[in-house]
Structure 1
Amino acid sequence: MTIQYLSKQKYDELEAELAELKNVKMLETAKQIDEAKQNGDLSENAEYHMAREQLAWEQGRVKEITHILDNAEVLKNTGTSDGSVGIGSTISVEIKGKQKEYTIVGAQEANPLEGKISNESPIGQAFLGKVSGDVVEVEVPAGKQVYTIRTIT
């Protein structure tokens, strides 16, 4: 069992998506299947087959979200009590003379374009446990990157 680290916001979003799937979308899709069955021969009924595929996708997504929520650990606060980088920390770093800001998040919330780095990624793992002033070297596909941690919040 792998722990899924989630912010409260992401946890709530997944709960809402799960409720929407179970209480609205799957019921609508089941109704579409029933309506498509009324059109006769199912072997050549495109609406029926599309609705069945949609229902299968929705059922798969319900299982996926349920698994995530069952294994979730909601982050109650950011970072660690000792001032080191932890999941939930926002860090300001210097790389090649430029300032960048990253937030260390669980894999479900990672989005590098928004500065959200997964704790499971090589960069995220390299930052975990470090403190302000530490120099962090990370091997990435583009080569070795050297980061200096300026602040941790």
Structure 2
Amino acid sequence: MNCYNHPEIISVASCIDCNRGLCVDCSNLYTIPICRYCNVNRIKKEKREIIKDFVWMFMFALVLAYVLTSSMPSTDNVYISLWFTAFYAGLSIYNGWKFLSNITPNMFLALPLIGWLIYFCVKYVLASFVGMILTPFLILKKIKRLLDIIKIEV
């Protein structure tokens, strides 16, 4: 098998995504043996995932802020601070839920209905507390990674 980019050179590795042949120069471009096309696809996919995550996070936060503040009659200053608090709570719950989902094992739990109800209630409460602490760090990490991806694309 010959290199996909250099057909005259014998390949020494294959792309881990598409199994195209890669010569020594092509396989040493990145830390893993991956061709340029697959690497570009991975970068685009990661960028889409980060943007999609931001959209879902802010939509959840806006809905929660609206639900929590729509029935609260109050003065303007209190209303604005309550709205921002509810918005941050929405961000926190979303990020905490994703964090807890990432650290739990990917196995199916066989629980009765009441077990699932207790599981989701406990996870919701834990997500709100864990999310309050992690949200600023996770948002900064995602923004930094998005900026790095934009630099790579240019």
Greater share of residues in strand: 1
TM > 0.5 between the two?
A: no
Where is the helix percentage greater, Structure 1 or Structure 2?
A: 2
Higher relative contact order at CA 8 Å, sep ≥6: structure 1 or structure 2?
Answer: 1
